[in-house]
Amino acid sequence: MMQSKYLDPQDRALNPMLQLGRKLRLLIVDDQPVNIQALYQVFAADYQVFMATSGPQALAICRDKHPDLVLLDVQMPGMDGYEVCRQIKADAELQDLPVVFVTAHSEPQAETFGLEVGAVDFISKPFNPAVVRARVKTHLTIKLQGDLLRQMVFIDGLTGVYNRRFFDERLALEFQRAKRSGTMLSLMVADVDYFKRFNDRYGHLAGDEALRTVATTLAKQLKRPGDMVSRYGGEEFACILPDTDAAGALSLAGEMNAAIRAAHIIHAESDVCDVMTVSLGVASFRPDATRLAEELIVAADQQLYLAKSQGRGRACGAVI
């Protein structure tokens, strides 16, 4: 089991996916406001409810508000519910979002079709509030269990931040996203200075505890929801910073450097100073068809080694 004591579910910076303490979010989609109103009455007390009156609006809210479940009308002018569901299921970031159709159609073909395009359930109008409430609860339970499993696969057991596997997936995703939007993508790597000596002096358990402090300290410096920190290797951490130029990334690296020093983990064997420090390497580029995400990793590593060779406890950066 995941070591929950290392995770703070309220801390979005530490782990934006873990928000277990919050109210669950429902999106109700229907072109008739009176129908939305009826469902709203059923759920308003227990959930945070979003509403949309068209397919495109529903998709925009899904991307923006990250609902946990969608109650979707089938018949709507323009984009119908089947198409909305299809687009949700075709979107890598939305595909785990459960869709429940709520419709006046009760023919088996309509229901089968709804399930075939990826819905988890099909509720006929007029609905019974208690039944709708119970079914939604069941689907949310399953959804949250899935979320938890997915998170565990992507979280480093020692430090509670994302692991290498998640980093690899996220970097590929952010690379594609930056390519589409034409924005800068920055990568920062942070490596603990003289960590081997720390272990030798204070013991491996103290080393583990120090790594946890370093991880949470780095995570707390992140400012934007898209930023993420992961444990890249033993005592090395990597931060993906979307839509961030070299100046912004280097300034954040400076703040991380200062924050780690301020955490004041005594390290009497360090040649930098008497507390634990990190060296940071930053690389930034504008992805295009000719570039590879790996180039960013290589460049950030080179900058890290530059920071090490210049005396450690500092950040170096480059635009490539």
What amino acid positions are annotated as catalytic residues?
A: 235
Closer residue to ligand GH3, CB minimum distance, 170 or 231:
231
**Among candidates 293, 273, 275, which has minimal Cα distance to 283?**
293
Which residue bears the tokens 């129908």? 35
3-class DSSP state for residue 71?
Answer: strand
Q: CA 286 to CA 50: how far, in whole Å?
A: 35
The first and second tokens of residue 76, run together, are 């709507």
Told to check if 308 binds ligand GH3 by CB under 6 A, we report yes
Stretch touching ligand GH3 by CB under 6 A, among 109-117, 145-153, 196-204, 249-257: 196-204
Closer residue to ligand GH3, CB minimum distance, 56 or 311:
311
Q: Which does 158 bind (CB under 5 to 8 A by kind): ligand GH3, Mg ion, none?
A: ligand GH3
Stretch touching ligand GH3 by CB under 6 A, among 57-65, 82-90, 191-199, 293-301: 191-199
CB 187, min distance to ligand GH3, A: 18
**Binding footprint of Mg ion on the chain (CB under 5 A):** 191-192, 195
Closer residue to ligand GH3, CB minimum distance, 208 or 294:
208
Closer residue to Mg ion, CB minimum distance, 121 or 193:
193
Q: CA 131 to CA 124: how far, in whole Å?
A: 11
CB 274, min distance to ligand GH3, A: 15
Q: Is the dihedral of CA 71, 75, 77, 83 positive or negative?
A: positive
CB 308, min distance to ligand GH3, A: 5
Which 120-159 positions form the footprint of ligand GH3 (CB under 6 A)?
A: 158
Told to check if 193 binds ligand GH3 by CB under 6 A, we report yes
Q: CA 97 to CA 147: how far, in whole Å?
A: 10
Q: Which does 267 bind (CB under 5 to 8 A by kind): Mg ion, ligand GH3, none?
A: none
CB 310, min distance to Mg ion, A: 15
User: How many angstroms separate the Cα of 226 from the Cα of each of 118, 222, 242?
Assistant: 28, 9, 7
Q: Which amino acid is at 66?
A: H
**Site residue total, ligand GH3 (CB under 6 A):** 17
Q: Which does 196 bind (CB under 5 to 8 A by kind): ligand GH3, Mg ion, none?
A: ligand GH3
CB 169, min distance to Mg ion, A: 25
Beta bridge partners of 317: 282
Cis preceding linkage at 9, omega within 30: no
3-class DSSP state for residue 193?
Answer: coil
Q: How many Cβ atoms from other residues are within 10 Å of residue 53's Cβ?
A: 17
Told to check if 201 binds ligand GH3 by CB under 6 A, we report no
Give the E-state strand segments of the chain in sequence order.
25-29, 48-52, 69-72, 99-103, 121-124, 185-192, 228-233, 236-242, 278-285, 315-319
Stretch touching ligand GH3 by CB under 6 A, among 39-47, 116-124, 136-144, 186-194: 186-194
Told to check if 183 binds ligand GH3 by CB under 6 A, we report no
